[in-house]
Amino acid sequence: MLLVVRDLTVALPIGGRLVPIVESVSFTLGAREILGIVGESGSGKSMTSLAIMGLIDVPGARVSGSVRFRGRELVGLAPRAYRALRGREIAMIFQDPMTAFTPVYTVGRQIDEQIRVHQKISRADARSRTVRLLGDMGVPDPERVAGRYPHQLSGGLRQRAMIAMALSCNPALLIADEPTTALDVTVQAQILDLLRGLRREYGSSVLLITHDMGVVAETCDRTLVLYSGLVAERGPTGALFAQPGHPYTAALLDSIPPLHGPRPARLPSIPGSPPVPAERPAGCPFAPRCAYAHEACAVRPALVASGVQDIACVLPAEGRPLPPRFVAEMSA
Amino acid sequence: MVMAVLRRLGQTLFVLVGISVLVFLVFFATPGADPTARIAGRNASSETMARVRVEYGFDRPLPVQYARMMEKLFVTRDLTSYVNRGQKVVPEILEAAPVTVSLVSGAAVIWVVLSVAMGVIAAALRGSWVDRGLMMLGLVGISIPVFWLGQVVNLVTQSRYHESWLFSWVPGLGYVPLTEDPLGWFRALALPWLTLAVLFVGIYSRVLRADLVAVQSEDFMRTARAKGLSPARVLLVHGLRTSMITFVSLFGLDFAQLVGGGALLTEVVFGLQGVGRLTYQALSNLDLPLIMATVMYSAVFVVIANAVVDMLYLLLDPRVRDGR
């Protein structure tokens, strides 16, 4: 296993006390695998990725649990050692390519910088690698693009440049935090294609963070559903889409517009909003919004195996799992 | 690019003409304030009044008066003072300008170096006692009036402790031209430089620290850290470079207004015959030609400095280059 995360908990100081934003999240990621982490805003998915990167810089924040990358423990790793890892073995691409590049330097210079920080090579060699990477990412006329400033490029080109920068040192793990959210639909599809191709051409594993179930269906081998900082469900994407075990997963799937059949007048939505971290209920955090909520939900359900999936819900154990869904087509 | 520069020059010229018209109108065409009476002096005879009126063209229409004033100021440069008759105004300013430029340039070097160092250190150690101490020091610097500080410096270095080993190198008050005696120039100006710089070190270090702290939460700073760069490199190469944009615009304006006569208090306290002091004399004697000339001189500097800042923007911020 490339990455083994066990009971990762991230607590931030809010109003004078430590409030857990992410609670006991566990998952594994194998070589050349794409794992999707899905959840609403505030579900802790970005916080999880920043914790793996060691980039949480809120004063007083506490990260506990274990993150093992190639057998090496990352939680509590010395800053200097972490720095050698970041950008070289674990790289990250961010949601908004507009603001993720420093506006006053050319894109090429910023990619060169990352290469030269981690490897002793000449400026000219770094630039030729930058140009090759940009070309690999499907950037037309990469030499010219390398000499341009971020604001002179379109969103799609910027995100390609961002991915080129992330891949510049051939990282084993790429964390992509909502890489397509800020892009328009056709560009989204191209970027997802690119991410899928990475494992073939670069042998990278990808941790894809998104709130878009459609993106997950198209891209991910396995899926982790986060709700309110807790794992709701995890399992192979196909199984999870065919028979969601957690009512939250099912509700998320219901909110995807169907491609076939009559168009619903209004897409089903989940009533209410997720609890804020400081006021998370003692029992199942989804219970207040759940159609299946009953007395048993007053105790926080443990993550239990049910077939190939792990589900944090009492329904399967009570012998009344959710019905399987008809999946019209699965491209994954 | 050439077009942009030309357009900028045109604007500069337009602003200068506008300022000169305004200043002229304020001082020479204010109803009820007859410049003739001021020149001729108190209880002057009507013949004297008539002579002065013809000599300065006050019997002609305003546009002609304005044109004559501008001609005397820029073309023939023989505008003479009302107070010291016969004293030519333009050479007087040209003589005072090097003093002011020397004073302000030296102070600017000190305040830029010190404030960048203080701002960066404070931002890097944000929240620590070093940060709090430096920012407190900056606030103290801003609060001290420059004339008071100058007087205290003079008191200490010129009289009380002048004989001690610490301050025996300090020359008497006044200016020594750089071309005559470089070391003397430096010694004469060292204390005025520091005195003038104190206020600006305070302002600039606080502004820079605030900018650097604000930039920390930008996405690109997170990207820079995700790339595996060292904290120093993230702060200096990505943070400071981006924060410099505000710093430069502030610097351009302050530098220009100081060279244009804003260093008045420092010049007076340290006995430097600079433009500020000249302006001060002109105002206290209501010496209209001298006021006219010093204001125009100062306007030229402010406008030129603005143009230079705009050019620097082009260098510093590629987004401005593309007219966005």
> Measured between CB atoms, does A130 come within 8 Å of chain B?
no
Average pLDDT, chain A: 88
> Measured between CB atoms, does A149 come within 8 Å of chain B?
yes
Query: Using a CB-CB distance cutoff of 8 angstroms, which residues of chain B are in contact with residue A59?
Result: 127
Q: How far apart are CA A60 and CA A62, in angstroms?
A: 6
Q: How far apart are CA A307 and CA A239, in angstroms?
A: 9
Judged by CB atoms closer than 8 Å, whether chains meet at A104 and B318 is answered as yes
Q: What's the mean pLDDT in B256-264? A: 87
Q: Tell me phi and psi for residue A27, to 5 degrees.
A: -165, 170
Judged by CB atoms closer than 8 Å, whether chains meet at B227 and A113 is answered as yes
The answer to whether A233 and A225 are in contact (CB under 8 A) is: yes
Residues 220-259 of A with CB under 8 A from B: none
**Per-residue model confidence as pLDDT tens digits over B71-121:** 888 888 877 777 776 778 888 888 888 999 999 999 999 999 999 999 999
Q: How many angstroms separate the CA of residue A210 from the nearest CA in chain B? A: 18
Q: What's the mean pLDDT in B246-255? A: 88
Q: How far apart are CA A136 and CA B79, in angstroms?
A: 71
Q: How many angstroms separate the CA of residue A219 from the nearest CA in chain B? A: 24
**Per-residue model confidence as pLDDT tens digits over B180-207:** 888 889 888 999 999 999 999 999 999 9
- Residue spans of the domains in chain A: they are 97-170
Q: How many angstroms separate the CA of residue A144 from the nearest CA in chain B? A: 16
Q: What is the pLDDT of residue A332?
A: 41
What domains can be seen in chain B, in order of their start residue? 2-76 (no CATH), 95-321 (1.10.3720.10)
Q: How far apart are CA A113 and CA A111, in angstroms?
A: 5
Q: What's the mean pLDDT in B59-78? A: 82
Query: Using a CB-CB distance cutoff of 8 angstroms, which residues of chain B are in contact with residue A92?
Result: 226
Could you report the predicted ipTM of this complex, rounded to two decimals?
0.86
Token pair listed for B71 = 């001609």
**Per-residue model confidence as pLDDT tens digits over A198-254:** 888 888 899 999 988 888 988 899 999 999 999 999 999 999 988 898 999 998 888
Query: What per-residue string of b and e applies to B108-134 under the rule 16 or more CB within 10 Å gives b?
Result: bebbbebbbebbbebbbeeeeeebeeb
> Measured between CB atoms, does B322 come within 8 Å of chain A?
yes
Residue B218: which of A84, A99, A165 has the nearest Cβ? A99
The answer to whether A34 and A219 are in contact (CB under 8 A) is: yes
Q: How far apart are CA B112 and CA B158, in angstroms?
A: 28
The answer to whether A53 and A223 are in contact (CB under 8 A) is: no
Query: Using a CB-CB distance cutoff of 8 angstroms, which residues of chain B are in contact with residue A118?
Result: 228
> Measured between CB atoms, does B319 come within 8 Å of chain A?
yes
